Amino acid sequence: MPKNNRKSKAHHQVANDFSDEDLSNDAASVYSYQSDHNPGESVEDVPENTIEKYEDKLIQAIENASEKSQQTRIGALQAISEVFMHNCLYDFLDERRVTIMDIIEKSLKRGKGQEQAIAARLAALLLIQLQGDEDIAKTLSPLLNHIVLDKSASSEARSKSCLSLALMQFLSGEDNVGDTIILCQMFEGIFSGSYLKGDSSPSSASQDASTLHAAALGSWALLLTLIPPSDIVSLIQTKQIGTFKNLMGLLQSQHLDVRTTAGEAIALLLECGRIHDDEFLEEYIDQLIEITKQLSTDSQKFRAKRDRKQQRATFRDVLHYIEDETLPDIQVQVGSGISKETLTLDSWTLHHQYDSICNALGSGMHFHLFENDLLRDVFGMGERLDSTQISNAKLSKTEKKAIQAASFKARTLTRGKNRDKRSAVVN
């Protein structure tokens, strides 16, 4: 997707593999998830000593990331991720991109388990910080690809690598449909582990495996938003990027994350395909409606109450779209006060893209939507107001009150003089 001509698109929950909880570790020395400056407050307005504090944290963390102790390295990677989530420091990072890429590269190659997982997330965060730099994607994507396919790697590391690899393809401006299709096929090879068995019974995949399958499925769905609708119709019909009957089978999974991610991916797939062909996959619609109706009213007691609630909410939205093409309509408030903006997520495509990026940025999503030009471009939010424009806007409101007060005073004085003149004439 070209960085200068992105289409607005997205959808719901990619198995929430990237969450703020991933960063909580006793070995890490990190600051609060709340940024020290608010969305709507431009980076230029932040006191210089505050920016220096972020930079000092990064410098120290970068040094610690090269230590021999794995726990020290993990803590350093977590600290770097925290700063990346809640700040935009393009100039500072641009000068150190090679150093940080080298840190990520070493952790992906030599690290194990948690270290690889955090490094995979950090790869996506660095790409977001440096505005979709293609060199980052070209350097780190092969390493992420290797971890995704490495069955000896932990499920957590493979899950995070799936999501980062998809974001690399989505945000780096790479519009090569052939490469995107190859990635889709690779992701399907992973989540096919949750397909129905030969006797049509649900897969017996473990919880760890299901988390990986959901991450791969969500990543697959994100890449669909890069493929032209006409190609999606052709590729699905020729079973090159998935078999729709198998995708429907995922709705019977024993694991909530696979069921909900599959439901949303199916809605996204139908939305993309119907742009080109109104009758896309029409032969499956009646059966799909029946399945989603059951899932949207599921009250089986063996499921946790929270799981039932999440499932019903998800599949009600999916059912509304399948039956009458009612699209999701979610308003996201960005910034505050005079700089407040509203991002509308009114398609499954937009919703999925939003949640995919949110999985990487966590609680820093709103800050980056206000400050980060790359994300504003992705969601069609236009150029952000700079500090001078915001300052002028604030001043204009104050000035308006001052002008009104001055006008009132002038009118009062004029009326007073006129009264005096009238009094003189009468006398």
Give 192-217 pLDDT, tens digit per residue. Answer: 999 999 999 999 999 999 999 999 99
Name the percent of the chain lying above pLDDT 70: 77
Q: Is residue 324 part of a domain?
A: yes
Please indicate, yes or no, if residue 6 is contained in any of the structural domains. Answer: no
3-state SS string for the chain: CCCCCCCCCECCCCCCCCCHHHHCCCCCCCCCCCCCCCCCCCHHHCCHHHHHHHHHHHHHHHHHCCCCCHHHHHHHHHHHHHHHHHCCCHHHHHCCHHHHHHHHHHHHHHCCCHHHHHHHHHHHHHHHHCCCCHHHHHHHHHHHHHHHHCCCCCHHHHHHHHHHHHHHHHHCCCCCHHHHHHHHHHHHHHHHHHCCCCCCCCCCCCHHHHHHHHHHHHHHHHHHCCCCHHHHHHHHHCCCCCCHHHHHHHHHCCCHHHHHHHHHHHHHHHHHHHHHCCCCCHHHHHHHHHHHHHHHCCCCCCCCHHHHHHHHHHHHHHHHHHHHCCCCCEEEEECCHHHCEEEEECCHHHHHHHHHHHHHHHHHHHHHHHHCHHHHHHCCCCCCCCHHHHHHHHHHHHHHHHHHHHHHHHHHHHHHHHHHHHHHHHC
Number of domains in the chain: 1
- Which domain does 313 fall in, by range? 20-378
Q: pLDDT tens digit string along 75-101?
A: 999 999 999 999 999 999 999 999 999
Is residue 397 included in any domain, yes or no? no
> Torsions phi, psi of 406, nearest 5?
-65, -40
pTM reported for the whole predicted model: 0.81
Q: How many CA atoms lie within 13 A of 219 on its CB side?
A: 36
Which tens digit of pLDDT belongs to each residue from 215-254?
999 999 999 999 999 999 999 999 999 899 999 999 999 9
Q: Is residue 61 part of a domain?
A: yes
Evaluate whether residue 82 is within a structural domain: yes
The whole-number pLDDT of residue 396 equals 53
Reported as a single tens digit per residue, the pLDDT across 380-397 is 998 876 655 545 544 455
Torsion of CA 421, 422, 426, 427, to 10 degrees: -30
Using DSSP's 3-state secondary structure scheme, residue 65 falls into: coil
* Residue 54, pLDDT score: 82
Strand partners of residue 342: 333
pLDDT band at 7 (very low <50, low <70, confident <90, very high): very low
Q: Where residue 91 sits, what CATH number does that domain have?
A: 1.25.10
| Res. 287 pLDDT band, cuts 50 70 90 | very high
Higher pLDDT, 285 or 22: 285
Residue 9 located in a structural domain: no
Asked if the structure places residue 244 within a domain, the reply is yes
The answer as to whether 405 is a domain residue is: no
Residue 214's H or E segment, with its range, is: helix 207-224
